[in-house]
Structure 1
Amino acid sequence: SGQERRAACLETAQTLAIPLLTSSLTTILAFTLMLLLSGQTGEYAYSLPVVVTILLLSSWFLSMYITPFMCFWLMKVPPRAEAGSKPDDEPAYSGGIYAAYRVLLKGILKVRYVVLLATLALLAGGGYAGSKLVREMFGHSDRNQFLVYVDLPAGYNIEATEKVVQRLTSWLSDKKANPEITGTIAYVGTGGPRFVLVLAPFDPDPHRAFIIVNTESADQVIEVAERVREYIAGALPEAEGRVKRMWTTGPEPGFLEIRLIGPDAEYLYEKGQQLTDRLRAMRGAIDIRNNWENKVLTAPVLIDQARARRAGISSQEVANSLQAHIDGIQATEYREGDQAIPVMLQSVEEERAAGSDFYNIRVHSAAQGTDVALMQIANIHGEFAFSRVARRNQERALTVEFKHEVLKAPELLEAATPLVEELGLGEDYRWEVGGEIEKQAETMPKLFKWLPLCGFLIVVLLIWQFNSFRRPLIIVFTLPLAFVGAFVGLLGFRAPFDFFAILGLLSLAGIIINNGIVLIDKIDSERNAGRDAYTAVVEATVSRFRPICMTTITTVLGMMPLIISRDPVFYSLALIIATGLAFGTVLTLGVVPVLYSILFRVKEPLAA
C-alpha cells in the first residue's frame, strides 16, 4: 500500500495484537475443561491444557514482537511508489484467484438469505450425522505389547496353572512360530505389577495367570495377538485365554459389562450362565467371562463339639491339622546367615491327592497326647458351591464381561440388550451396564461441568474485543457449522468419537474463532478507514483469503500422516481438525460475510 517498512511492521503488530490475544485466550478457556477434569482421565489429560496455554501465550508474544522485528530486518520490500507498481486506484488484491473469489463473494452476498437457509439445513444435517457417530472413550495404545490372561476352571491348583502357562510361553518363545515376539514375562497366580496406569491387576488366584508379550513393533501386535488367540483355543482346551491389546487410559476400548443384581445367589448364577451361553452364540463376541466363574467341589467340615470335647480336641486343633494336611503349616525357621527359611509341615502328595484319605486325617490332641481320626469328631460331606460370590454396593452382583471383534461398546450394548431382556429377571432383580460405557457416563459430566462458565467467559472476551453483541454472535454461530464438517468426516471414515476427538473439537473451535476474529476485525478496520460497508466486507474478506487458506492447508497437511497411518491414538483428532477446518474455512470465507451483511444490514451499492 506504499507504507514505509518500519511503520508497516509496527502498525501490523499494533492492529493484530488484541484480536490475536483474544483468540488465544478463547482457545485456552476451551482447554480449561481438561485442566479442571478430575479422576484418572483428568490425571492423564492434565498436561495437555498446560502445554497448550504455554504454547499459545508464547506464540502470541513471539508473533507480536519477534515476527515484526524479523520482518523489518529480513524483508527488503520497497514501497509501491518506489517500485513503480500498481496505481493507487487498482485493487491491492487483483490476482486471478483473488478476482475469482471476489466475483464469487459478490454473488453469494446477492443471495445471502438463500445461503443462510442452506447453512441452517447443513446444521440440521450435521446434527443428524453427529447422532450416528460411534462413541468410544479411549482408543488402543501404540505400544508394542499385548496382554494374555489365562483362566483355568476355578478349583485348579497353581501347579496345574503353571504347567499350562509353561506350554503357552514355550510356544510364544518359538522363533519359527512367532518370529515377531521379542520376549514374554508370565505371572502365575497373580496379576503382576501395575506397570501402566490403566492396568488393574486381578486378585491372586491359583487358577489364573497373566502374561505380557513384547513384539518388534506396534504394527505386528494385531496379527500376533490373533495368532495367540487361535493357538489357545486349539492347543489349550482346558484353559480360556483372553488376548488384549494395550490401551491409553480409562477402561479397555470396546469392553462391556452386564451386571445382574439381586438377592438370591442361585438365581443370579443361573441367569448369568444363560447370558454367557447366549453371548457365546453371538457371532464375533470374544473374551466372555463370568466373574463368579464355575462352581467347585467343597467338603464342609462340621465339628461335633460334644465328641470333640470327649476326645480333648479344640476347633483350633482341627483347623491346624487340616491346614497342615492340605496347604502346610510353618513349624519353625532355618536361618542361614541373614536369611530366614521357613520349614513347612505338610502331608505327602500321594495322601493329599487321594480324596478318600481326607476322612482319616489325624487330629492331634495336645491335652491328651493322642491322635484322633477326623471322621470320629466331625461330619463331612461333599457339595458343589460357588467359587466366589461378588458384591457391589453390598448387593450380590454377577458380572458378565465381553467384547466384540468389530463392534464398539455402544453398538455391542445395542446388540446384547435383547439377550439380557430375554432372561426375564424377577421383580427384585435388575441389570446394569458397566465397562467403557459406564466410565464414559461418569467422565463426560465431569468434563462438561465447567462448560457453561468457560463458554460464558469466551463470550465475554468476544464482546470485550468487539464492544458489540452482534459480532460475537457471528463467530459463535460458525462454531457448530464447523463441527458439521468434523462429524461428517468421522462418519465418512468410520472413525469413533472418542476423548481425543473432543480435543480435536476444542482445537478446531480455537482456529475457527481465531479466523472469525481476525476477519471481522479487518472488516471493521476497513469501515473505520472510510470505505462503505459493502466494499469493506468484500475487500476485507478478500484480503484474508490467502492467510486463512494457508492456515487451513498447512494444518491439514500436518494432520495427513496421522490420517494416512490411521494412528491408533490421534486418528479421530486428526480427522476432526482436517475435515472440520476444511469445512470451517468455507464457512469463514462465505458464511461470515453473509451473516455480517445480514446483521448489519449491509446493502450492495447501486450501480452508477
Structure 2
Amino acid sequence: MFAGDEISQFFVFVTMPEGTTLGETDRIIRQLEERASKLPKSDVKSIVTNTGMMQTESAWYLKPSVGQVTIELVDSKFRKRSVDSYIEELRERAADISGIKSIDFSEVMTGPPVGPPVEIKVRGDDYDKLLLIANEVKNALGKIDGVSDIKDDFDIGKKELRLKINEERAALYGLDIFQVASTVRTAFEGTVASKFRELDEEIDIIVKYKENSRSSFKDLENMKIATPFGQMVSLKDIAEYTIEPVYTAINRTDRIRAVTVIADVDKAITNSNEVNKKVMEEFADLGARYPGYSLKFGGEFSELSESMEGLWKLFILGVFLIYVILGGQFSSLMQPLIILYTIPFAFIGAIAGLLIINSPFSLNTMYGIVALAGIVVNDALVLISFLNNARQEGYGRWRSIILAGSVRLRPIILTSVTTIFGLLPMAVGLGGKSETWGPLAATIVGGLFFSTVFTLFIIPCLIAGVDDFRLFFGAKSLKPRPHLDEIEEGK
C-alpha cells in the first residue's frame, strides 16, 4: 500500500496452545533463538528473545503461552540480501520445531500503520460453518504462490465443565436451577458466611467444601443437594455434566459473528490486490453454497481501495477548482480545457517514470499524480497567457501562435528542467535510494517531462484547431483584420 524504506529488523511471534506453561514456551523460544543464530553472523547485529510477552502492532500480550524473537540486522548498505530473504531462511529453519500453535514473521516497515496484506472476514451466525468456510479460505490461500503465515483469529481456550440440570427430575425434589447452581457454587467457590475484624481490617470468612471433597469428578457427582422437604439428593440424580472447550473471545464485524483469516504476501512474487481478487473469484458462489454467510475483505486491500477512492475525489475537486480559476482568469470556457489537456499526458509520463525505476504503483505515487495536476498546467498557462496578450496587441492568429512558441520556449524549458533536475537524484537514488520518496519523485519527473514536450508541440496545434472551429462558426474576433505585423510589412 505505502512504499516504505527497509528497516533492518524483523520479529518472530510465537503462540503456543492455551495452557502451555512458561517453561515449555521458553524451551521453544530457545530453539527458535538457536535457529536464528545460524543466520550469517556478519549480517546479524543482535538477537533478543522474550518469553511470556508478545508485542504486535495491534496489541501487547502478557501470558505464559506467547513469546517473541527480535532479530536486528546490520544496515542495508553493509549486506547484500534483503530482510525478506532472511525471513524466508529462518522460516525454513524453524519448520521442524514441533508443538507451536502459530508462528508469524513480521517485518518492520516505515509509513503509517496498515492492516495485514490479506485479511478476510468470514461472517455468519454458526461457528461450525464459520470455521468450515474459514478452512476453505485458508486452503485457497495456501494454493497461491507467495502467500505465507496463513492463520485465523479463532482461539479455543481451556476446557470447562458444564452442568445440565434435568428440570423435570429436579422439580420432583422441589428444586429449581437457581437452587442447584447456588449449592454447587457454594461448594466449589464458597460463599461469605461472616466477617472477622482485626483492628481496622475486615476479613471475609468463606465457607466451602474441603479440598479433598471437591478434587475429582466423582466428588461432583456424589455432591448432596438439600431439598425443601429436608431430603438430600445426589447431584448425579438430577444433572449431567460435559467437558467442552470454550471460546476465548467471540469476535463480531458489523454486529455479525466473524472469523478473520489473515496472511502475509511475498511482494517479490505477488501482491495483496492479486491475492484478494483470486479469493473473490473462487468464492463468488459462497452465498449460494452457504446462505446467510459472506466474506468481507479488509487489510491493505480495503485500506488501499478507500484511500484511492478518497484521493480520486480530491483529484477531481482539484481539477475542477483549477478550471474555475483559469476560466475566471481568461474569461473563456475553452482555453482552460486546453490547459487541463496536459494532465492526461502527465499520467503517461508518471507511469513511464515508475517503469524506468522498476517501482510498483502505490499510494505514494498517487500523491505524486495528484500533485502533478497542479504542476503541469503551469507551462501551458504561460504559453496561452502570452498568446492572449499578443492577440490583444494586434498580432494575427498564426503570428501570435508562432510568437508565443518562440518567445516562451526558453522560460518553459528552464522552468521544467530546474524542477526535473532538482528531483532527478531522488528519483534514481543517487546517494541512496528511498523506497518512500523515490517513486514519488519519479512520478513527478516523468509526468513533468512528458507534459512539457506536449505543451511545446501539441498545445499550439490544439489552439489552432480551436481557432478553426470558432472561425467555422463565424467568430468575429478571429476574422482577418490588420495586425501589427502586417502594418510593419506595409500590407
Q: Distance in 1 between matches of 2:309 and 2:100?
A: 44
- CA, structure 1 residues 541+388, in 2 after alignment: closer, same or farther (shift >3 Å)? same
Alpha-carbon contact 1:361-1:374 (below 8 Å) kept: no
Q: Write the letter of the residue equivalent to 2:75.
A: S
Q: Write the letter of the residue equivalent to 2:108.
A: M
- CA, structure 1 residues 264+379, in 2 after alignment: closer, same or farther (shift >3 Å)? same
Question: Is 1:498 paired with 2:400?
Answer: no
Alpha-carbon contact 2:420-2:448 (below 8 Å) kept: no
Task: Give the equivalent residue in structure 2 for 1:215.
Answer: 73
Task: Give the equivalent residue in structure 1 for 2:274.
Answer: 411
Alpha-carbon contact 1:157-1:206 (below 8 Å) kept: yes
1:408 positional shift? 1.3
Task: Give the equivalent residue in structure 1 for 2:188.
Answer: 318
Q: Distance in 2 between matches of 1:430 and 1:303?
A: 34
Q: Distance in 1 between matches of 2:190 and 2:360?
A: 58
Q: How does 1:365-384 map to 2 (within 5 A)?
A: 380-384=241-245
Task: Give the equivalent residue in structure 1 for 2:87.
Answer: 225
1:210 positional shift? 3.9
- CA, structure 1 residues 450+280, in 2 after alignment: closer, same or farther (shift >3 Å)? closer
Q: How does 1:353-372 map to 2 (within 5 A)?
A: 358-359=216-217
Alpha-carbon contact 1:181-1:214 (below 8 Å) kept: yes
Question: Is 1:244 paired with 2:106?
Answer: yes
**Which of the pair has the greater relative contact order for Cα pairs under 8 Å at 6+ separation?**
1
Which has the higher mean CA deviation after the structures are superposed, 307-316 or 226-235?
307-316
Question: Is 1:182 paired with 2:41?
Answer: no
The partner residue of 2:149 within 281, 287, 290 is: 287
Q: Write the letter of the residue equivalent to 1:497.
A: F
1:292 positional shift? 0.9
Which has the higher mean CA deviation after the structures are superposed, 312-321 or 418-427?
312-321
1:508 positional shift? 2.2
- CA, structure 1 residues 158+447, in 2 after alignment: closer, same or farther (shift >3 Å)? farther
1:530 positional shift? 5.5
Task: Give the equivalent residue in structure 2 for 1:596.
Answer: 463
Q: Secondary structure at the match of 2:439?
A: helix
Q: How does 1:116-135 map to 2 (within 5 A)?
A: none
The partner residue of 1:300 within 154, 161, 179 is: 161
Question: Is 1:538 paired with 2:405?
Answer: yes
Q: Distance in 2 between matches of 1:188 and 1:377?
A: 46
Alpha-carbon contact 2:413-2:452 (below 8 Å) kept: no
Q: Write the letter of the residue equivalent to 1:401.
A: I
How far does the alpha carbon of each residue in 1:190-230 deviate from its partner, in whole angstroms, 9 at most, with x for none? 443x7xxxx32265564333444322224652332222222
Task: Give the equivalent residue in structure 2 for 1:579.
Answer: 446
- CA, structure 1 residues 525+540, in 2 after alignment: closer, same or farther (shift >3 Å)? farther
How far does the alpha carbon of each residue in 1:467-487 deviate from its partner, in whole angstroms, 9 at most, with x for none? 433332221111122112213
- CA, structure 1 residues 311+377, in 2 after alignment: closer, same or farther (shift >3 Å)? farther
1:266 positional shift? 0.9
Q: CA RMSD in A?
A: 4.2
Question: Is 1:400 paired with 2:261?
Answer: yes
How far does the alpha carbon of each residue in 1:371-430 deviate from its partner, in whole angstroms, 9 at most, with x for none? xx9999985533355554422222111111113322111111122234434766411111
Q: Write the letter of the residue equivalent to 1:394.
A: R
Q: Distance in 2 between matches of 1:227 and 1:393?
A: 39
Q: Distance in 1 between matches of 2:270 and 2:413?
A: 43
Q: How does 1:328-477 map to 2 (within 5 A)?
A: 358-359=216-217, 380-384=241-245, 386-405=247-266, 406-421=269-284, 425-477=289-341
Q: Distance in 2 between matches of 1:311 and 1:543?
A: 92
- CA, structure 1 residues 560+301, in 2 after alignment: closer, same or farther (shift >3 Å)? closer
How far does the alpha carbon of each residue in 1:338-377 deviate from its partner, in whole angstroms, 9 at most, with x for none? xxxxxxxxxxxxx9xxxx9653789999xxxxxxx99999
Q: Distance in 2 between matches of 1:223 and 1:314?
A: 58
Where in structure 2 are there 5+ consecutive unaligned residues?
192-210, 225-233, 469-477
Where in structure 1 are there 5+ consecutive unaligned residues?
1-136, 322-350, 366-372
- CA, structure 1 residues 444+302, in 2 after alignment: closer, same or farther (shift >3 Å)? same
Q: Distance in 1 between matches of 2:394 and 2:180?
A: 115
- CA, structure 1 residues 155+563, in 2 after alignment: closer, same or farther (shift >3 Å)? farther
1:498 positional shift? 1.6
1:554 positional shift? 1.0
Q: Write the letter of the residue equivalent to 1:474.
A: I
1:561 positional shift? 3.4
How far does the alpha carbon of each residue in 1:278-307 deviate from its partner, in whole angstroms, 9 at most, with x for none? 3223332201011114x5662314287979
- CA, structure 1 residues 376+189, in 2 after alignment: closer, same or farther (shift >3 Å)? farther
Alpha-carbon contact 1:526-1:540 (below 8 Å) kept: no
Which has the higher mean CA deviation after the structures are superposed, 150-159 or 426-435?
150-159
Aligned residues: 424
Alpha-carbon contact 2:251-2:258 (below 8 Å) kept: yes
- CA, structure 1 residues 481+178, in 2 after alignment: closer, same or farther (shift >3 Å)? same
Question: Is 1:523 paired with 2:387?
Answer: yes
Q: Distance in 2 between matches of 1:361 and 1:500?
A: 67
Q: Secondary structure at the match of 2:429?
A: helix
Q: Percent identity?
A: 24
Task: Give the equivalent residue in structure 2 for 1:569.
Answer: 436
Q: Write the letter of the residue equivalent to 1:145.
A: Q
Question: Is 1:200 paired with 2:58?
Answer: yes
Task: Give the equivalent residue in structure 1 for 2:375.
Answer: 511
- CA, structure 1 residues 205+316, in 2 after alignment: closer, same or farther (shift >3 Å)? farther
Task: Give the equivalent residue in structure 2 for 1:264.
Answer: 126
Q: Write the letter of the residue equivalent to 1:441.
A: S
How far does the alpha carbon of each residue in 1:437-469 deviate from its partner, in whole angstroms, 9 at most, with x for none? 212233344445555544333223223433433
Alpha-carbon contact 2:28-2:97 (below 8 Å) kept: no
Q: Distance in 2 between matches of 1:206 and 1:593?
A: 74
TM superposition score normalised by structure 1 = 0.60
Q: Write the letter of the residue equivalent to 2:372.
A: L
Q: Distance in 2 between matches of 1:425 and 1:208?
A: 37
Task: Give the equivalent residue in structure 2 for 1:559.
Answer: 426
Q: Distance in 1 between matches of 2:46 and 2:237?
A: 55
Q: Distance in 2 between matches of 1:218 and 1:316?
A: 64
- CA, structure 1 residues 564+146, in 2 after alignment: closer, same or farther (shift >3 Å)? same
TM superposition score normalised by structure 2 = 0.72
- CA, structure 1 residues 176+230, in 2 after alignment: closer, same or farther (shift >3 Å)? closer
Q: Secondary structure at the match of 1:537?
A: helix
Q: Write the letter of the residue equivalent to 2:243.
A: G
1:139 positional shift? 2.7
Task: Give the equivalent residue in structure 2 for 1:481.
Answer: 345
Alpha-carbon contact 1:229-1:241 (below 8 Å) kept: no
1:176 positional shift? 6.7
Greater share of helix: 1
Q: Write the letter of the residue equivalent to 2:348.
A: V
